[in-house]
Amino acid sequence: MATSPWQNWSRTEAVEPVRIVRPGGAGEIAAAVRDAADDGLRVKAVGAGHSFSSIAAPEGVMVDMSDMDGVVRVDTRTNLVTVEAGMPLWRLNQILDAHGLALENMGDIDRQTVSGAISTGTHGTGERYRGLSWQVSALQMVLADGTVVRCSPEQRPELFAAARIGLGALGIITEVTIQCVPSFQLQAVETPMRLDAVLGGLDELVAENDHFEFYWFPHTDRTLTKQNNRYSMEERKRRPTRLAYWWNEGVTENTLFEMSNRVGARFPRAVPSLNRLAGRVWNARNYTDVSHRVFASPRRVVFREMEYAVPREALPAVLHDLKARVDERGFKVSFPVEVRFAAADDVWLSTAYGRKTAYVAVHQYHRHGHEEYFKAAADICNAVDGRPHWGKMHWLEAKALGERYAHFNDFLSVRDEVDPERRFTNAYLERVLGV
């Protein structure tokens, strides 16, 4: 296929690959990898491009996964579902709906492909729940020598341990088997609260709700809390009307928010006042819907994002320091700070590996400068051994990252075995994994 420039969703990264292939199956991917090796080119699989970092930047051969979006099998006895790796999460949710199944937990965006989401460590929120990669039970991959292999806890277990969050560094995932759960509803209770009240009652809010998160509006003491709790599909609950969904998800959180950010970009001094107004506009609501319609929301306002996973007990100090730093440095931050939670897991490169975790995500509208604000937030999170999200903006390199992951060297050993010539690397992976 003829080449054309590639750009990610947030417009932070752009590159022109040497060539583009659009395979329809694992065999075609294997052939593309072998051809790239013959030509001395690197290879990178690309899905929705929803990472804010350059983790997916295709510097050589770009493997466009958009035709790899089929269902392989659905086993309603075990609730194991196998799909091709290029399937977007929003379509996966539709398929699961049709079979009375659901993802146990998911993030707040569903545009990513399945393989992109697991490879970068996409997560949701909930003190008793873990990220999407933890729900994976098997993978099929094309390795650097063009072989097609399967891995699971029983079959090539070390490759599986590394590949559940593989950063695209070990091979190209072609199929993903996910352990799903029976469909469920979420009752969503969204309530404005003062920041000090949230932090003062944080333990109870996190423990008493299945999925708790909150948004803090910088330059104010306002937050919007989201308390989502699980119910069976049989329980009768009131779902939002189409008008209510359009107003909240379409108008308030996108159209009006875009207008507010445009005004803030044109008149930075107005940002604090706009944030106070936004804290009032995003009012309380209470509704119930199928889980994925509550977990994920449309995101049409373009922004930049950096997210750190910090030890759960460090969160209050991190937010107090961040609030102080914003005020001291005079940053004009028009996007709320998002805070979520996760249980400890055992995935080698998971940001929640081995510890209860709080996630602090800082955002900035794409027309605002973000770098000084993000670096100030990074300094605060790095001071408590924070781990940056692999698919979002950060500045850490291999040495610092290696000190924060117990299995970092194990991951590198697997990589040396399956991709000794670094067929799947790019500049980002050279920075975070080493050359």
Q: What is the CATH number of the domain that holds 376?
A: 3.40.462.10
* pLDDT surpassing 90 at residue 269: no
* pLDDT surpassing 60 at residue 271: yes
* pLDDT surpassing 60 at residue 250: no
138 domain residue, yes or no:
yes
Same domain flag for 364 and 277 = yes
DSSP string of 11-48?
SS-EE--SEEE--SSHHHHHHHHHHHHHTT--EEEESS
60 domain residue, yes or no:
no
* pLDDT surpassing 60 at residue 233: yes
**Domain end call among 146, 162, 182:** 182
The CATH number assigned to the domain holding 135 equals 3.30.465.10
pTM more than 0.95:
no
DSSP string of 116-166?
HHHHHT----BTT---GGGGEEEEEEE-TTS-EEEE-SSSSHHHHHHHTT-
Angle 60-62-68 (CA atoms, 0-180°, nearest 5)? 155
pLDDT, residue 380, reads: 98
Q: Which among 367, 297, 321 is positioned nearest to 218, based on CA atoms?
A: 321
* pLDDT surpassing 80 at residue 330: yes
Q: Which two tokens stand for residue 95?
A: 């398929």
Same domain flag for 304 and 264 = yes
Alpha helices in 267-364 (DSSP H): 271-281, 291-295, 315-329
Same domain flag for 205 and 311 = yes
* Total number of domains constituting the chain: 2
Mean pLDDT for the stretch of residues 165-176: 98
Residue type, 377: A
pLDDT, residue 137, reads: 98
Same domain flag for 233 and 178 = no
Q: Which two tokens stand for residue 349?
A: 């490169």
* pLDDT surpassing 60 at residue 245: no
49 domain residue, yes or no:
no
**Domain end call among 127, 156, 182:** 182
Q: pLDDT higher for 250 or 131?
A: 131
Same domain flag for 175 and 197 = no
pLDDT, residue 368, reads: 85
pLDDT band at 98 (very low <50, low <70, confident <90, very high): very high
189 domain residue, yes or no:
yes
pLDDT, residue 284, reads: 79
Q: Which two tokens stand for residue 355?
A: 């510890």
Alpha carbon distance 359, 310 (integer Å) = 6
Same domain flag for 247 and 177 = no
Mean per-residue pLDDT of the chain: 92
Span 4-57, pLDDT tens digits: 789 998 888 999 999 999 999 999 999 999 999 999 999 999 999 999 999 999
pLDDT, residue 262, reads: 74
Distances (CA, A) of 129 to 121, 217, 289, 356: 14, 26, 19, 10
Same domain flag for 92 and 217 = no
pLDDT, residue 243, reads: 58
Span 12-25, pLDDT tens digits: 899 999 999 999 99
Same domain flag for 240 and 306 = yes
116 domain residue, yes or no:
yes
**Domain end call among 182, 198, 224:** 182
Same domain flag for 205 and 276 = yes
pLDDT, residue 206, reads: 98
127 domain residue, yes or no:
yes
276 domain residue, yes or no:
yes
* pLDDT surpassing 70 at residue 253: no
308 domain residue, yes or no:
yes
* pLDDT surpassing 90 at residue 255: no
Same domain flag for 215 and 230 = yes
Same domain flag for 139 and 215 = no
Span 335-350, pLDDT tens digits: 999 999 999 999 999 9
> Which residue segment(s) compose the domain that 114 sits in?
67-182
Same domain flag for 147 and 71 = yes
